[in-house]
Amino acid sequence: MTTVLGIEGTAWNLSAAIVDEDDVIAEVTETYRPKTGGIHPREAAQHHALYASDVIERLLREYQDKGYSPQNIDAIAFSQGPGLGACLRTVATSARALALLLDIPLVGVNHCIGHVEIGRWKTPAIDPVVLYVSGGNSQVLGHRAGKYRIFGETLDIGIGNALDKFARGAGLTHPGGPKVEEYARKATSYVKMPYVVKGMDFSFSGLSTAATDALKDNSLEDVCYSFQENAFAMLVEVTERALAHTGKSEVLLAGGVGANMRLREMLDVMCEDRGASFYVPEKRFMGDNGAMIAYTGLLMFDSGTTLPIESSHVDPSFRPDTVDVTWIADEQEVL
């Protein structure tokens, strides 16, 4: 049995967890909540620095209270990127210190792949097309020839970011996504808005601006509704294209925006019509969490991947398609 301690802290959530092959054994999370506006990168990093040792201490206590000894831990995993540079560096420093202290190897985990792997762990999905939607990231991913390939992604901002930006302009407080969803439920009519899919990629900044403009002549409810309808239809269309192109038959939803019920409904309808299976992990594993980093770290460690401290620098624009997926046996290539 392998046991890995993982730390996540790419943006607003600082979270650490200890997992083994079977389950999450312990998890502790401290969330940075901005007083006004959105995430301030420096404040978020200061938050993580302030709480890092406390989170680890509480995590180890919880672990020991359950009858385990820290000597059982085989490796320390941390989210190496993508994310906010200052936040990543704070988390990496804690991870290195822990690895040195316990004298065990370090594993650098790609944050996006963390979302994918916890979804594969906690749902029956085996080889899914993954729609990963959060504040900063919006990607359609899938495994092929030893890598997690990006089939489509945003050409400008993440969907969560677009929702928050529009919401701030409409006078709603951060995070705007859930509020937009609430208003959208009370809408009475659809307002025409831009729909931008370029091949397998999508773009949200124009939609966000158009929605803000539309507030002049339409109710907030109708604009929220129409914004969601267009933005999510774009995401679902590209997800469906990826299914058609790859021949895969499963869809996995990941990331914080995956909490939106309208997005889930649209994906579910699309999958039903295509005869594909649709999987949504439970909520605690959808947003950023320590367990996803610990578990992906475990898969990497078990397949022989560790990271020497001297080359453990963070990468704010770490691409998931640069990571060798050593823990999945290559499927038969059908081209």
Q: Which residues bind other proteins (CB under 8 A)?
A: 81-84, 136-137, 142, 144-145, 149-158, 161, 190, 192, 195, 197-201, 229-230, 233, 236-237, 240-241, 243-245, 265-267, 269-270, 273, 316-317, 319, 321, 333, 335
SS3 82: coil
How far apart, in whole angstroms, are the C-alpha atoms of residue 226 and residue 232?
Answer: 10
User: Closer CB to other proteins, residue 261 or residue 269?
Assistant: 269
Q: How many CB atoms lie within 10 A of CB 245?
A: 13
Q: Is 177 annotated among the ligand-binding residues?
A: yes
- Quote the least distance from Cβ 87 to other proteins, whole Å: 11
Q: Is 201 annotated among the ligand-binding residues?
A: no
Q: Is 24 annotated among the ligand-binding residues?
A: no
Q: Is 174 annotated among the ligand-binding residues?
A: no
Q: Is 330 annotated among the ligand-binding residues?
A: no
Return the closest-CA partner of residue 149 out of 301, 287, 325, 331. 325
Q: Which two tokens mark 115?
A: 């979302």
- Quote the least distance from Cβ 233 to other proteins, whole Å: 5
User: Closer CB to other proteins, residue 120 or residue 144?
Assistant: 144
How far apart, in whole angstroms, are the C-alpha atoms of residue 129 and residue 113?
Answer: 13
Task: Kindly tell me the burial class for residue 42, based on how many C-beta atoms sit within 10 Å of its own C-beta (0-12, 13-18, 19 or more).
Answer: exposed
How far apart, in whole angstroms, are the C-alpha atoms of residue 272 and residue 268?
Answer: 6
Asked if 321 and 142 count as a contact pair (C-beta separation under 8 A), the reply is no
User: Closer CB to other proteins, residue 310 or residue 333?
Assistant: 333
- Quote the least distance from Cβ 282 to other proteins, whole Å: 23
Q: Is 196 annotated among the ligand-binding residues?
A: no
User: Closer CB to other proteins, residue 237 or residue 302?
Assistant: 237
Q: Is 164 annotated among the ligand-binding residues?
A: yes
Q: Sort residue 283 into left (φ over 0), alpha (ψ -120 to 50) or beta.
A: alpha
- Quote the least distance from Cβ 39 to other proteins, whole Å: 11
Return the closest-CA partner of residue 52 out of 78, 80, 85, 23. 78
User: Closer CB to other proteins, residue 32 or residue 63?
Assistant: 32
- Quote the least distance from Cβ 220 to other proteins, whole Å: 18
Q: Is 133 annotated among the ligand-binding residues?
A: yes
Determine the Cα angle at 251 with ends 198 and 174, to 5°: 70
Q: Is 9 annotated among the ligand-binding residues?
A: no
User: Closer CB to other proteins, residue 141 or residue 298?
Assistant: 141
CA 294 to chain centre: 14
- Quote the least distance from Cβ 115 to other proteins, whole Å: 13
SS3 210: helix
Residue type, 122: K
User: Closer CB to other proteins, residue 142 or residue 256?
Assistant: 142
- Quote the least distance from Cβ 224 to other proteins, whole Å: 13
First-residue to last-residue Cα distance in the chain: 37
Annotated binding site: 111, 115, 132-136, 164, 177, 181, 260, 288
Annotated binding site for substrate: 132-136, 164, 177, 181, 260
Annotated binding site for Fe cation: 111, 115, 132, 288
